[in-house]
Structure 1
Amino acid sequence: METLIKRLERSTFIQAALYVIIGLLIVLYPRVFFDAIVYLVAAYFAIIGLVAIVQGLRHKRDGLPAGFFLGIIYILIALIVFFFAETLASLLPIFIGALFLFGGIIRLIQAVGFRRTIANRWMYFMLSSLLWIGIGLLMLANPFDSLLVLFQLFGGFLIAVGVVEWVLYFTLRSSRRQQG
């Protein structure tokens, strides 16, 4: 049981730090963050495509293998992502909202499970899960017109979630010390 709590402690602290750092970067530099994501995704697909094409050309026997054509499709996807990023990004709030909603539901289930092991401190986990669910629902409703404003709001939410996660970290740590 103590090993589980130590692992949960460590991962909670690291997650909180990542949320706060990424959140601050998004709040301060939303356009740079958006452009970086577009370039990274496009580069990822382009690299996978080029690798598949090269491997396809190397293993050419009686015509070009399926991997070659799959590589061309990956390069086309990279070009679509690169040139139509704004259009694709308008769908991003839906995906991000769904991730937060499902993550919150999972955390809510965990919080109910912690009721027995962490006694009265499980409410911190409950609040964290409700925050995740609220963020997810807000992002799915998408009342914002500007993607960059939405990114900044998302960054602010990440900072808030990171702070709550740090509270959870210190709660777990103090709970472990009281038990030990």
Structure 2
Amino acid sequence: MKQYTRQFHWYRWLRILFLGLAGLIMLIKPEKSLDAILYLIAAYLVGLALIALHDGWLLSKTHSDNTGPYATAVISIIMAVLIFPIAHLLLPLLSVLLGIILLINGVNQFFNARVNRKYINVIPWLDYLYSLLLILLGIILVFNPFDMLSLFFRLLGVGLIALAIMEFINTRLYK
């Protein structure tokens, strides 16, 4: 059981690192951040694949038939390789797609916070606030995509840094 908790923390620390670095890049140089973010996403996916391979190796030592970690590793590697061509094809639709993704992510974050509140007797105000910000940014990008892209990247950078900080706080609260 301890190894699964350690693996969960590895995923969480990888997510904190990714969110913090992406947020800083977007905040400092929003107009030149696309390629840096793509490299960062590719590195994140490779890191995810390495952790999944380690999970699969640990499961194979217990003679488990679970091949989920290996599938995750393969899919992550494929996505890391394909991210550059796909991103450049989708670049004209970036603001609308990001708006939709943020809207969906904000709604999911809100409902996840509500569901988790049933099990933990703490009101997750930070999660509610963050989900509201994601929903607002998503709506702004969907309906006004061309005027707001640079401002969006800066705001997204601040939001990603805030999410990294909240993830770090949550690692300390929910040991």
Q: Same fold (TM over 0.5)?
A: yes
For residue 164 of structure 1, report the CA deviation from its aligned partner. 1.4
Partner of residue 34, structure 2: 34
Partner of residue 12, structure 1: 12
In the alignment, residue 94 of structure 2 is paired with which amino acid?
Answer: A
Residues paired across the two proteins, number: 127
Q: Would you identify which runs of 4 or more consecutive aligned residues in structure 1 move more than 6 Å? A: 1-4, 37-40
**Residues 19 and 160 of structure 2 are in contact (CA less than 8 Å); yes or no, is this contact kept in structure 1?**
yes
Unaligned regions of 5+ residues in structure 1, if any?
41-77, 116-121, 174-180
Partner of residue 95, structure 2: 90
CA distance in 2, matches of 1:141, 1:13: 30
**Percent identity, aligned pairs only?**
19
CA distance in 1, matches of 2:114, 2:130: 9
CA distance in 1, matches of 2:138, 2:161: 19
* CA shift digits 1:105-126 (9 cap, x unpaired): 22431233233xxxxxx34xx1
1:9–1:38 distance in 2 versus 1, CA, 3 Å:
closer
In the alignment, residue 20 of structure 2 is paired with which amino acid?
Answer: V
Unaligned regions of 5+ residues in structure 2, if any?
41-84
1:171–1:29 distance in 2 versus 1, CA, 3 Å:
same
Scaled by the length of structure 1, the TM-score of the pair is 0.54
For residue 98 of structure 1, report the CA deviation from its aligned partner. 1.9
Matches within 5 A, 1:61-80: none
In the alignment, residue 101 of structure 2 is paired with which amino acid?
Answer: F
Deviates more, 1:159-168 or 1:12-21: 12-21
Scaled by the length of structure 2, the TM-score of the pair is 0.56
CA RMSD of aligned residues (A): 3.5
CA distance in 2, matches of 1:82, 1:148: 17
Deviates more, 1:126-135 or 1:146-155: 126-135
Matches within 5 A, 1:42-61: none
Q: Larger C-alpha radius of gyration, 1 or 2?
A: 1
* CA shift digits 1:112-161 (9 cap, x unpaired): 3233xxxxxx34xx134213321222113307632011011001001011
**Residues 30 and 152 of structure 1 are in contact (CA less than 8 Å); yes or no, is this contact kept in structure 2?**
yes
1:3–1:83 distance in 2 versus 1, CA, 3 Å:
closer
* Partner SS state of residue 101, structure 2: helix
